[in-house]
């Protein structure tokens, strides 16, 4: 993946062109980390020091800095953008716009939103989101927005266990309507690549073919 950069009229702004769609037919301005929670890509970029604002466009990302210089910021931003697009995570975490089926209960809707938000959690070893990796076994909504997430890790004793658990809890509580989130780790059933989504399997298969 090759990402181009373009200078703008404002020296504190730099435009990144990833060579693929970012937001289809729309532009979104994000000026704080709270709003960045709606976008796994924005969330990654706001974790980089001196990033103060973003504009996500149809085919570009414009970053505004509040200090530092582009010589040092540019490599970190390029790495974060590349990691995002290679992870398979969506640019935005949005609820489906289609009408709700009559049989669908509010708890089911909230569980779906939580599951979508969990795609912002990227396994640091595999570089892919935990939902499509098949690490999230269940999302249950109890009364008053109390959510329980049953998940696993790729191996027992995985060094990233704490990171993944905390990431899942943080992303779940960022969803409107969730008042509390608990993460229960389990190794029954044991995780295997068969639990991955079709998109994840295709992603890793392509990676193996490219490595040959």
Give yes or no for residue 96 having a pLDDT over 50. Answer: no
Distance of alpha carbon 189 from alpha carbon 13, whole angstroms:
48
Average pLDDT over residues 37-46: 90
Whole-prediction pTM: 0.52
Whether 212 has a pLDDT exceeding 90, the answer reads no
Contact 90, 128 (CB under 8 A): no
8-21 per-position pLDDT tens digit? 999 999 999 998 88
Tell me the fold of 4-87.
Answer: Ribosomal Protein S8; Chain: A, domain 1 (3.30.1370)
pLDDT above 90: residue 81: yes
Residue 179 vs residues 41, 45, 56, 73: alpha-carbon distances, Å: 24, 26, 29, 36
211 or 201, which is more confident: 201
Q: Where are the domains of the chain?
A: 4-87, 106-211
99: confidence class by pLDDT, cuts 50, 70, 90: very low
- CATH code of the domain made up of 106-211: 3.30.300.130
**pLDDT given at position 98:** 44
Looking at residue 211, what is its pLDDT?
A: 62
For 152-170, what is the mean pLDDT? Answer: 94
């Amino acid at each position: 993946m090759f990402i181009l950069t373009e200078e703008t009229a404002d020296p504190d702004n730099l435009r990144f062109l990833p060579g693929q769609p970012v937001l289809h037919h729309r532009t979104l301005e994000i000026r704080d980390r709270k709003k960045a929670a709606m976008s796994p890509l924005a969330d990654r970029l706001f974790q980089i020091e001196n990033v103060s604002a973003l504009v996500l466009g149809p085919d570009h990302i414009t970053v505004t800095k509040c200090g530092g210089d582009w010589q040092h910021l540019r490599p970190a931003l390029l790495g974060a953008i590349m990691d995002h697009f290679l992870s398979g995570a969506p640019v935005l975490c949005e609820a489906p716009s289609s009408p709700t089926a009559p049989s669908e209960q509010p708890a089911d809707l909230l569980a779906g939103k939580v599951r979508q938000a969990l795609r912002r959690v990227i396994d640091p070893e595999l570089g892919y989101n935990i939902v499509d990796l098949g690490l999230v076994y269940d999302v249950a909504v109890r009364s008053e927005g109390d959510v329980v997430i049953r998940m696993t890790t790729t191996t027992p004793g995985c060094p990233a266990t704490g990171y993944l658990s905390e990431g899942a809890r943080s992303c779940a509580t960022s969803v409107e309507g969730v008042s509390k989130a608990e993460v229960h780790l389990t190794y029954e059933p044991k995780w295997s690549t068969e639990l991955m989504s079709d998109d994840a399997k295709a992603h890793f298969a392509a990676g193996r073919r490219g490595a040959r």
